[in-house]
Structure 1
Amino acid sequence: MRIMGLDFGSVTVGVAVSDPLGLTAQGIETVHYVQHKKNLLFDRLGELIHQYEVESLVVGLPRDLIGTESQRAEASRGFAKSMKKKFHLPVMLWDERLTTVAAERILIDADLSRKKRKKVIDKEAAVLILQSYLDKKGLEQKSDERA
């Protein structure tokens, strides 16, 4: 069962998918879109959902450091709702606090230039969103097995 992680931004969407066992997240791509042509965004995401046989989606939900939802949260909620309606898949919203900051640090540590970081940061943030979801899900399953 593959899960797709999405980091929704105002002009790009970072995309990651899990391995078939749902243990690890891998970055796929960053999809660029224009607000008035979101149908092209949904077309590309639909292709990826089909290609990777995705069964559920995790969309990053922006929050500030104290946990309140940011201004971008409303847009992410709308995007998640559209994804659920369009693809008829379960969609979970997941706290994405500090994922972009963490992604930036990872890419700086990998010695990527600013130009190259800009191209892949959303994809890396999607990986971090999805991996944190998978880790939490894995811990819950282990806890259930012990009970």
Structure 2
Amino acid sequence: MRILGLDYGDKTIGVAVSDAFGWTAQGIETIRRKKPEDDMNRLGELVRAYEVTEIVVGLPKNMDGTVGPRGEICLAFADTLKETLHLPVHLWDERLTTVSAERTLLEADVSRKKRKQVIDKMAAVFILQGFLDYKSKR
């Protein structure tokens, strides 16, 4: 029973997965977006490989809590995931996750080139870990 966490962007999808107990999130890859069908096929492969039962998609909100154009795109993506993969899809407020991921990588003295390669995967970890922490407190 694992949960997949996604940071959905224009060019990439950062992917993280929970451990079997749903306690911790680990980054697994960054998907370079091509065609929507290819993206869904790769996500389907990951769902099967990791025996995923739920998906969490980061929902970018404005600082005042409203959903803007980028958030609308993520909402549509979440609907497509539900229809295609037939799994529950949760939306998680991702405000400042990329900023937090960037700060963590800077503190770890990761080079600019390497940060660019892993930032989306790291943001997916922050999204999923926030969701897992919330679930464990309920």
Structure-2-length-normalised TM-score = 0.98
Q: Could you state the TM-score of these two structures normalised by the residue count of structure 1?
A: 0.92
Give the aligned partner of residue 3 of structure 1: 3
Instruction: Give me the CA root mean square deviation.
Output: 0.7
Q: Hey, what's the Cα distance between the residues in 2 that align with 1:110 and 1:64?
A: 28
Runs of 4+ in structure 1 over 6 Å off:
none
Residue 119 in 1 paired to residue 117 in 2? yes
Task: Quote the Cα distance in structure 2 between the aligned partners of 1:7 and 1:109.
Answer: 21
Q: Which residue of 1 aligns with 2:29?
A: 29
| Structure 1: unaligned runs, 5 residues or longer | 141-147
Q: Which has the larger radius of gyration?
A: 1
- In the alignment, which residue of structure 2 is the partner of 1:130? 128
Residue in 2 aligned with 1:87?
A: 85
Q: Distance in 2 between matches of 1:121 and 1:14?
A: 8
Matched position secondary structure for 1:21: coil
Residue 58 of structure 1 is matched in structure 2 by 56
Residue among 99, 119, 125 paired with 2:97: 99
Cα distance in 2 for residues equivalent to 1:58 and 1:27: 13
Identity over aligned residues, as a percent? 59
1:68-119 deviation digits (Å, cap 9, x = unpaired):
1132101100100000000000000110010000000011111111111011
Gaps of at least 5 residues in structure 2 are none
Q: How far did 1:17 drift? A: 0.4
User: Residues of 2 paired with 1:69 and 1:108: CA distance?
Assistant: 29
